Structure 1
Amino acid sequence: MIKGIYLMLFFSLGSLIFSDENPTYHSINPSNDELVKSINRGKEIYTDFCVQCHLASGKGTETFPPLAGSDWLVNKRKESIHAVKYGQSGPIKVNGKSYNGRMSPMGLSEEEVADVMNYIMNSWGNKQSKMVTVSEVKAVKK
């Protein structure tokens, strides 16, 4: 009986871990230990501050743009850092779709901005070879 319960629990957890709906499973394979630590910290920040609008899948909504596979995120790195650091308002175009919502500033430290950017830029199929650093975040001004 107990063995059966453990097997049910194991298979239930396994299906959650490898399900497309599960926000905790991402194909993150960075080789840099510093980047791995930053991504792990960034995941917690994303869960606390970003998941409500951009969703656990990073797919966004009709109002809030996707981060998963986002051309804006990749092609407008400085603007992406600026949006996380200071908030975002006004029209933007992501993957060919226009958005004109408002993202309030989250009050994150420069290290937290770098960490959440590294998480976002290396999750949901996003791949960046260049790590976002605190000095890069500091260089982005209002």
Structure 2
Amino acid sequence: MKKLLTACLLVVLCGCKNSSEEKTEETARVEFSPEMKESISRGAQVYNNFCASCHLSGGEGIKAVFPPLQNSNWIKEKQEESIHAIKFGLRGPIKVNGEKYDNLMPALGLSDREIADVMNYINNSWGNSVSNEVTEEEVAAIKK
């Protein structure tokens, strides 16, 4: 009986710990400025309309075909290259999370604002945590 009570207590404590961790993540997201929250919301719509068909709704991509955006070292380390790829497309081999990808990503014809919004969404989704806001002006400055 004592072992059962101890096990139940451990389960409850672990559950409480996970809940507080989830709240910490939620709190971190709440700290975004209203403008950033709007950008991320618009970016989610852009992502679902243009990106999810290849990179999938959870950003996991398709192994050896379309790279993951979820927990992506490419997203975290290569912001300018990521913006460039969305703006102008991407051709040729890249390495994401240690895996090689060599497929064509066409230019999507998005506006600079849409690109900034979708980058802000990707940067703050699926384990990515890139705190710098991507702006329309930053996207406009990236040339072919």
**TM-score after normalising by structure 1:** 0.79
Deviations 1:67-118 (A, max 9, x none): 0100011111100000011111100000000000110010000000000000
CA contact (8 A) 2:76 2:129 kept: no
Deviation at 1:37, TM superposition (A): 0.3
Q: Distance in 1 between matches of 2:58 and 2:44?
A: 12
Deviation at 1:36, TM superposition (A): 0.4
Matched, 1:41 2:42: yes
Q: How many residues align?
A: 117
Q: Distance in 1 between matches of 2:32 and 2:85?
A: 27
Q: Which amino acid aligns with 1:43?
A: A
Which entry has the higher C-alpha Rg, 1 or 2?
A: 2
SS class of match (2:80) = helix
Deviation at 1:33, TM superposition (A): 1.1
Q: Distance in 2 between matches of 1:78 and 1:72?
A: 10
Aligned match for 1:106, one of 92, 108, 111 = 108
2:20 aligned residue: none
Q: Distance in 1 between matches of 2:81 and 2:130?
A: 16
**TM-score after normalising by structure 2:** 0.78
Identify unmatched segments of 5+ residues in structure 1. Answer: 1-25
Q: Distance in 2 between matches of 1:99 and 1:52?
A: 17
Deviation at 1:32, TM superposition (A): 1.3
Q: Distance in 2 between matches of 1:32 and 1:124?
A: 20
Identify unmatched segments of 5+ residues in structure 2. Answer: 1-24
CA contact (8 A) 2:42 2:117 kept: yes
Deviations 1:37-73 (A, max 9, x none): 0000000000000000000010000200000100011
1:5 aligned residue: none
2:8 aligned residue: none
2:71 aligned residue: 69
Aligned match for 1:86, one of 76, 85, 88 = 88
Matched, 1:96 2:98: yes
Which consecutive aligned stretches of 4+ in structure 1 deviate over 6 angstroms post-superposition? none
Q: Distance in 1 between matches of 2:142 and 2:126?
A: 25
Root-mean-square deviation (CA, aligned residues, Å) is 1.4
1:4-15 equivalence runs, <5 A:
none
Q: Distance in 2 between matches of 1:43 and 1:141?
A: 25
Q: Distance in 1 between matches of 2:90 and 2:48?
A: 19
1:54 aligned residue: 55
> Sequence identity of aligned pairs in percent?
51
Q: Which amino acid aligns with 2:76?
A: V
